[in-house]
Amino acid sequence: MTWVLRANKFDIWDWGNFSVAYDKTLIKDYKGNFTQALNIAEILKTGGIMSYNKILL
């Protein structure tokens, strides 16, 4: 996913492997930039975005 995001002009600071595989991905928006979170969700083909303690699908 790092390379997919980088190919779409997103700056990735750090990446690694997670020990558990999940069947869903949730994008967490900590800065209130819902448009950017939505762009990431579209690129990664995932539906869930959490923004300010609300889950928006």
pTM of model > 0.85 = no
- Residue spans per domain, the chain: 1-8+25-57
Per-residue pLDDT of the chain (57 residues; tens, 9 = 90+): 888 999 999 988 888 877 887 788 888 888 888 888 899 999 988 878 887 655 555
Query: Can you give the pLDDT at residue 9?
Result: 93
Query: Can you give the pLDDT at residue 42?
Result: 92
Query: For residues 5 and 46, is the Cβ–Cβ distance under 8 A?
Result: no
**32/38 Cα distance (integer angstroms):** 11
Beta strand pairing call for 54-56 and 26-29: unpaired
